[in-house]
Structure 1
């Protein structure tokens, strides 16, 4: 079974190509804005605040966005949001090029990016099922989409490190602005046959409640979403602190920071390739549990690393665990949610991931300012393990038997 089998579909191939190019620019902008904020302020708290502003709209607006997208043309929404993100990157580039280093405007632009992303991410995720003609290829398409994201996370920060050192943040923002041309061109060449959303007699708040009730009646879906929400609040925000590791713990510069981002991207790319190679029928819940454990243990390793090599190795391992965890949950939701509730289900997934992450980033940034980055990241690793334990206990009343099945799959298979 080919790892690239979903690329045979015309529309997904265009989507993959456009995203692969644009995401490199997106990651360059993420690295550049994080480095810019920390260079100007040297404050872990303000670093967390900018991340908070860029993602908090997902917490507030994602359920609304899911209901809105279920009522409207997903493709048109994606086109509009991509143009909006392009404009946001252009304004950032102009501001830095003019040496207008204003933290208030940086915060406003980060908030604007978050508002657009609340609709863009939900619309693109719910559009995935329409990009492949054979639904058996959907899990592979999701994994390849994640591969493009994480390949960009590998290449983007590496390029950003070079450009930041040689030219400055404004060039990174300009490249991101130009990269959206690829996405818009690819979207324009797609040949989609989207069914017109059925008109709903209920108002949007009623639709929101229906989405909540659907998840409440689907514990297999809701338990994974709650697990991801807890992880996004207490574990995943370690990513906000990578500039602090680079600059304060290992006394590096922008290039050092790009190494950490690239290490995480390399690990995540490996995790995405693993997910793309999975055959249909694999136990995605078991994969979620195991990857979450890898993620948490890797965080403990990062916290106690005494050398740059060990820290980068641990950061790569966090990328593996985080990538597989999120991809497995995403794939499970995409393949198990009903078609009429898919956008609303995915909106709760996005809310639990991108929505809770800014709250966690703000809290983690504040705690790191008080207690130090190593202690806080170590605590995040402990919390990651506890979250997995609670999830397992919720999934199975007989926790011991479930752990034996996970830790000894061959023995379990033999008994069966």
Structure 2
């Protein structure tokens, strides 16, 4: 046990230990629900474009509400906010369950419920990310907590879709939604009775929310390293998530499979993401993160290109593994940098911008890529995304030395 605490020091903190258990269970149900909804939409419509609309409305609210959520949460209790968002998510899953079992489910209803989930998620994701550093009492455990939080997310991403694929095959989508509605209960209980957060430093009394949003944007713009890293993340986030909307088409049209094949593909992404989370937790050093970002974004571009050419399941699974690895190591590295270089009084706002980029822009790209795939096919669409990411990495490398210098100055002042 002592070796585990040395490897992952955040686990020694009781509040974080309970939170990570509840979060893993909650996210397991969410990923089962997401895959079941994707498969249900594709089964009803047989269209990648219509599926991309559902994906878009489930995450697009982050683009509209992300900055508001960051400023709002800095004025409110994060633990209570998480309890509310988890309870609302549970109600949404229960409605999906009822509609599916009763046979009244249809495409417009799925779009509406996805939109509701997106609004809830706008506040839930920012609250989760902002809470992590408040569950540990020393800065040495912050990096470990961020990586473990990502690992919990990706364990769920690994197990959830794979489990959902088999459950859909045996029982149908309704059972996935039913299981999901129960998985929110453990986290709600733990947040209510076991998890406590330390008090945040800084006061927001009398401050205008709009002014705080502008202040957060100016902070990111003034930090040279954050400015250029967020520019890379902007392009990366739009184009790397194309796999989410294209996988159903690959699993049926290209690979000749079904829901089980789709589950394996998403499971391989989750396995790569889990591996990436471990590597970030153990090996990544904050001052080396800019170079790490360039390498991991390049890995993602290569993996997408290989997947686009693959017509065999084993090669597609390997490529999917490295897609998950590249996306997670990139996102977790940026998340770590945001947590470490931000003070308590502006962390939620900085993280809300990070979440807008990583979770809000992807659906906008998916909408375009779904339409593109219906026209030119999934392989060509995915190859196009890989080329754009590669070009963004090359542009980022031109500023790498200056980015490293700016980050080193900030870390030295801290």
* TM-score with structure 2 setting the length: 0.93
Question: Could you tell me which residue of structure 2 aligns to residue 9 of structure 1?
Answer: 13
Q: Which residue, out of 339, 346, 350, partners 1:334?
A: 339
Q: Contact 2:255–2:311 at 8 Å: present in 1 too?
A: no
Alignment CA distance shift 1:317-1:145 (3 Å): same
Question: Could you tell me which residue of structure 2 aligns to residue 405 of structure 1?
Answer: none
Shift of 1:226: 2.1
**Secondary structure of the structure 2 residue equivalent to 1:100:** coil
Q: Which residue, out of 7, 15, 40, partners 1:36?
A: 40
Query: 1:37-78: per-residue Cα shift (whole Å, max 9, x none)?
Result: 001100000110000000110011101111111111111111
Alignment pair present for 1:63 and 2:61 = no
Structure 2 distance, partners of 1:398, 1:203, is 32
Higher mean alpha-carbon deviation, 203-212 vs 171-180, is at: 203-212
Alignment CA distance shift 1:348-1:367 (3 Å): same
Matches within 5 A, 1:121-270: 121-188=125-192, 189-195=194-200, 198-270=203-275
Alignment CA distance shift 1:173-1:379 (3 Å): same
Query: 1:307-363: per-residue Cα shift (whole Å, max 9, x none)?
Result: 111111111111111110001011011101222111100010011111111110101
Structure 1 distance, partners of 2:199, 2:244, is 37
Matches within 5 A, 1:237-386: 237-278=242-283, 280-281=285-286, 283-386=288-391
Question: Could you tell me which residue of structure 2 aligns to residue 402 of structure 1?
Answer: none
Shift of 1:249: 0.9
Query: 1:204-228: per-residue Cα shift (whole Å, max 9, x none)?
Result: 1111111111111112112222221
Q: Contact 1:73–1:196 at 8 Å: present in 2 too?
A: no
Alignment CA distance shift 1:82-1:385 (3 Å): same
**Secondary structure of the structure 1 residue equivalent to 2:66:** helix
Structure 1 distance, partners of 2:396, 2:93, is 39
Gap regions ≥5 residues in structure 2: 405-414
Q: Which residue, out of 76, 87, 91, partners 2:91?
A: 87
Q: Contact 1:238–1:380 at 8 Å: present in 2 too?
A: no
**Secondary structure of the structure 2 residue equivalent to 1:340:** coil
Q: Contact 2:146–2:336 at 8 Å: present in 1 too?
A: yes
Alignment CA distance shift 1:225-1:194 (3 Å): same
Structure 1 distance, partners of 2:237, 2:198, is 35
Gap regions ≥5 residues in structure 1: 400-416
Shift of 1:397: 6.9
Structure 2 distance, partners of 1:377, 1:391, is 21
Shift of 1:282: 5.2
Alignment CA distance shift 1:398-1:163 (3 Å): closer
Equivalent pairs, count: 399
Question: Could you tell me which residue of structure 1 aligns to residue 108 of structure 2?
Answer: 104
Structure 1 distance, partners of 2:128, 2:226, is 20
**Secondary structure of the structure 2 residue equivalent to 1:297:** helix
Structure 1 distance, partners of 2:125, 2:59, is 11
Structure 1 distance, partners of 2:284, 2:262, is 36
* TM-score with structure 1 setting the length: 0.93
Shift of 1:195: 4.2
Structure 2 distance, partners of 1:355, 1:153, is 18
Alignment CA distance shift 1:251-1:281 (3 Å): closer
